[in-house]
Amino acid sequence: LNRPTHVFQANGVYNVRLTVRDEDSEDTTVVRVEVRDVDPIIGGINAPDDAHEIVPMTFSVDAEPGHAADPITRYEWDFNNDGQPEYAGPQFQTVNHQFITAGDYTVSVTVRDGDSATVQAIEVEVREITLEELIDWFVAEPDLYVEVQ
């Protein structure tokens, strides 16, 4: 290998051994490596099985710090793939979002710690809501309304 690589999964101090061999000799050295930053880990995005327009739906992210000493500080959700989060802050591990029109959407979440970030995206197919489903939603949530522009 000309340029070996390795990804450390956790912060810490590691002893890395490098051995170089040719046809008649070898030499080994040990180098101490300190890993100070591991990105947050995203286990997955939880989305509704049956996404449809108009009715708010719950999305959440399973995430954990890359290291206990480097806690998650912020979640950023982008529901329309424009690069600008619709929801952002430390409280948004779970969000309720409403798609106004049916269609295919890329939903991404960025999980940040103090000095790094991890991004994950999923494709969500949002179908048209039926009249019966819409009526059921209005009956179940009489204090909510939809403003159509």
pLDDT per position as a tens digit, 36-82: 778 999 999 999 999 999 889 999 999 999 888 889 999 999 999 99
Question: Which of 109, 128, 108, 120 shows the shortest CA–CA distance to 50?
Answer: 128
Q: Which residues pair with residue 84 across a beta bridge?
A: none
Q: DSSP letter for 58, please.
A: E
Smallest CA-to-CA distance from 54 within 148, 143, 117 is with: 148
CA distances (Å), 143 to each of 57, 138, 139, 140, 146, in order? 16, 8, 9, 9, 10
Q: Is the pLDDT of residue 15 over 60?
A: yes
Over residues 109-146, the pLDDT tens digits come to 999 998 899 999 999 999 999 899 888 888 887 666 55
- Among 87, 89, 112, 84, CA closest to 98: 87
- What's the confidence (pLDDT) of residue 146? 54
Distance CA 63, CA 92 (A): 12
Structure letter (DSSP) for residue 69: T
pTM assigned to the model:
0.72
